[in-house]
Homo-oligomer: A and B are copies of this chain.
Amino acid sequence: MVRAGIIGASGYTGVELARILSNHPKVELSVATSRQYAGQKLASIYPSLQNIVDVNCVDKPITELLDLADVFFTAVPHKTAMAIVPSLLEAGKKVIDLSADFRIHDHLIYEEWYQEHTAKKYLSEAIYGLPELHRNQLKKARLVANPGCYPTSVILGITPLLKNKIIDVDSIIIDSKSGTSGAGRSAQVGTLYCEVADGFKAYKIGSHRHTPEIEQELSALADQALKVSFTPHLVPMSRGILSTIYAKATCKIDDDELSSLYHSFYQNEFFVRPCSQGSFPATQYVKGGNYCDIGCKFDSRTGRIIIVSAIDNLVKGAAGQAIQNMNIINGFDENLGLEMVPVFP
């Protein structure tokens, strides 16, 4: 058994890692940290895990944790992650970092959107952990930068268009909608039930930190620098991201061809499910599972292609993808422990 540690186990992403790992045949959760709940059982904070996950939260310096696990998931905020990850790597551990700290290759861009980067020297070896794009590099990685939730839905949605060079790269508009778990479990007025329920709003218009991450990956795919409009919205639901993506087609295409393109592009990808032609995804059909469902449409009236992609932000958008990456870097079957069926209704 590979021993896995979760740094920051008591947030929604941390506990989702624990949920999925509890069914993993080759990995055991050997250590879990939480500053706030140190000394408590993780299952007492999250009674959903009672009798299933038997681990106590600890709050110890990273140096005291090194012997306790072979691979670490760092599920802590950006800035906190870059203070921890170097010690783990230097001790020979493999790291899947779920923060933003190692996602942006260019530290200047990182610093423009976040703050100073204090572990720049590890940026070059970090692999952006979208297996469908970077699987080969991931196999040899010891530091995986696990993608953001919005970028996962967007990049998987748009890759076949960019790879096939059938859209105007300056015309990309991304209108994304996320459930509330994306905001985390810290006590804030803005995510109280009464503030979110029965309502809908946009936020951080034109300024969300996932923008440079999306642009980095899309630019690489397009082989040229591009910029996107990206607007996130908050949906009164717990889990799920749906991204509606608009781009101008640069060639004649019809819905048949578009649908074929997606089906053939993703035919070997277990976790990407192109919808049948004329169908579109819904977040309720991916809830609890590691899937990305994608639908597409060519609007001949306007000459635009519209892509809709859906994921569970905590699974394919965070913990599930992290475990997919862990499987890859450990040489396991990529799907191991990840075949949870989405729960509907």
Contact = CB atoms under 8 A, between A and B. Distances in A.
A63 interface: no
Contacts of A240: 198-200
A236 to B, nearest CB: 6
B197 A237 contact: yes
**Copies of this protein in the complex:** 4
Interface string A281-305: 1111111110101010101011010
A110 interface: no
A188 B194 CA distance: 12
A48 interface: yes
Interface in A242-266: 242, 244, 246
Nearest to A240: B200
Contact of A343 (B244, B281, B283, B288): B288
Contact of A202 (B193, B233, B308): B308
B199 A181 contact: no
A192 B191 contact: yes
Contacts of A345: 12, 181, 194-195, 197, 238-239
A188 B187 contact: yes
- Secondary structure at the A interface, as helix, strand, loop or mixed, is loop
Interface in A201-244: 201-203, 205-206, 227-229, 231, 233, 235-240, 242, 244
The winner among A186, A246, A282, A310 for most chain B CB atoms within 10 A is A282
A130 to B, nearest CB: 19
A100 to B, nearest CB: 19
A19 interface: yes
Given A47-B293, A48-B284, A51-B270, 10 more contacts: A48-B286, A49-B342, A175-B231, A187-B189, A191-B194, A193-B197, A198-B237, A200-B235, A201-B281, A206-B306
Interface of A: 12, 15, 19, 22-23, 44, 46-53, 173, 175, 177, 179-181, 185-189, 191-203, 205-206, 227-229, 231, 233, 235-240, 242, 244, 246, 270, 273, 275-276, 279-289, 291, 293, 295, 297, 299, 301-302, 304, 306, 308, 310, 339-345
> 4 tightest A-B contacts by CB?
A199-B284, A201-B282, A194-B345, A206-B299
